[in-house]
Amino acid sequence: MKKVLAGLLGMIMLMTVVSFTACSDEKVKDLVEGDYSEEATDEQIVALRADINSGMVGDKSASDWYYSVDYSEKIDVDMKTSVQVQGESASFTTKLKSNMDYLFTFTNGEYKEDAVGSGEMYYNVSNLGSQMLIDTSCYNDNDYFYLDGKINVNDQSVSGKYKLSMNYIFSQGAGVGQTIDPDDLFGSIVEVETLLELLDDGSTKVFVDTSDETVDKYKFSVTDTTNLQAGFEDSLGSTDVVVDLSYLNIFLVVDKETGFMVNLGTQMKLSLNFSLYESGLAMDNKLSMTSEVFMQYTSEKAELPDDLSSYNNFYLT
């Protein structure tokens, strides 16, 4: 069970690495709004591939290069679990809700892109009568994720300043859907190469709106769940995963003149049925999940407070 819960944390951290407050309706509307009735032509797909292969984030070889995104997400997970062990059975429900608004800024470091971020985070998970609630300001650098606010665990409330190692966070979230590399936060968060995989694997239809004078808007609509199911089976360690996908849409907005990525967003609703067997313990799980994750380019730069070295270590248990 710990692996599954850790995997759920991985889902959150994958799309959220560091921040939260609900994704505003206006921001979602600005990104998604468009006429996606026309499927992209072969010529438009070729042009899209060229833009994606260019990186879509400007000239990274320039000494003053930086790329900033306003990052917003809203995730809700509800999982019902039935357990059987030595002839006894029990059931329980796990609920997870997270909302985040965050500003990521990436700059050229000595060996890789440096990642700095600041924002707000709300994270609430309950399971087997236990509850953790985090409602706090948060920050990150390459090595740590910092919390400045209130943390409630069951009936105990603590306000303070804490830090979690990035490596620790991602090792705990090494289960479901976890693909973030703590040594490559830029590549994990601004992961446009995934769009090429969707174009190649035959699971996705691409629709386009070219009516705007300055940007082209693309909608990737996943219609085949074969690869999605295989990914969940691999990460969960289960061979009987059943995926019921209501929708999985990825929106990409590209500057017509420069090929620069202006917006990237995902909306998803799905349910999973899967079983796990460990040391005589059989668990049947029914999971439902909805998520909205959006990134919008901004010229702003994230700033960190001066007292991060005084933050105390904190571990999720």
- Using one digit for the tens of pLDDT, what is the confidence trace for 227-240? 777 777 777 777 67
Cα–Cα distance, 105 to 116 (Å, whole number): 5
pLDDT at position 274 is 85
- Paired with 140 in beta bridges are 117, 145
Query: Is pLDDT at 188 greater than 50 in this prediction?
Result: yes
Residue 277 lies in a domain: yes
Two structure tokens written together for 204: 């996705």
Residue 186 lies in a domain: yes
Residue 312 lies in a domain: no
Better-predicted residue by pLDDT, 170 or 211:
211
Residue 241 lies in a domain: yes
To the nearest whole number, what is the mean pLDDT of the chain? 80
What DSSP designation does 311 have?
A: P
Count of domains forming the chain: 1
pLDDT at position 315 is 66
pLDDT in tens, 133-181: 889 999 999 889 999 998 888 888 888 899 988 877 666 543 334 445 5
Query: Is pLDDT at 271 greater than 50 in this prediction?
Result: yes
In degrees, rounded to 5, the angle at the alpha carbon of residue 266 between the alpha carbons of residues 258 and 69 is 50
Query: Is pLDDT at 28 greater than 60 in this prediction?
Result: no
Residue 308 lies in a domain: no
pLDDT at position 177 is 40
- Paired with 94 in beta bridges are 79, 127
Cα–Cα distance, 205 to 222 (Å, whole number): 6
Taking the model in full, what pTM does it have?
A: 0.80
3-state helix, strand, coil in the chain (%, to 5): 20, 50, 30
What band does 114 get if pLDDT is binned at 50, 70 and 90? confident
- For residue 126, how far is the Cα from the chain centroid? 20
Q: Which range marks the domain in which residue 230 is found?
A: 2-299
H or E element that contains 137: strand 130-140
Residue 75 lies in a domain: yes
pLDDT at position 30 is 63
pLDDT at position 19 is 31
Better-predicted residue by pLDDT, 281 or 107:
107
pLDDT at position 166 is 80
The DSSP code sequence of 256-274 is TTT--EEEEEEEEEEEEEE
H or E element that contains 71: strand 66-85
Residue 203 lies in a domain: yes
Residue 175 lies in a domain: yes
Closest listed residue to residue 102, CA positions, set 315, 282, 294: 294
pLDDT at position 111 is 64
Better-predicted residue by pLDDT, 125 or 194:
125
Cα–Cα distance, 134 to 124 (Å, whole number): 6
Q: Give the C-alpha distances (Å, rounded to integers) separating 151 from 5, 218, 312, 313.
A: 19, 40, 13, 13
Closest listed residue to residue 18, CA positions, set 137, 124, 131: 137
What band does 40 get if pLDDT is binned at 50, 70 and 90? very high
User: In this structure, what are the phi and psi dihedrals at residue 8, rounded to the nearest 5 degrees?
Assistant: -65, -40
Better-predicted residue by pLDDT, 22 or 290:
290
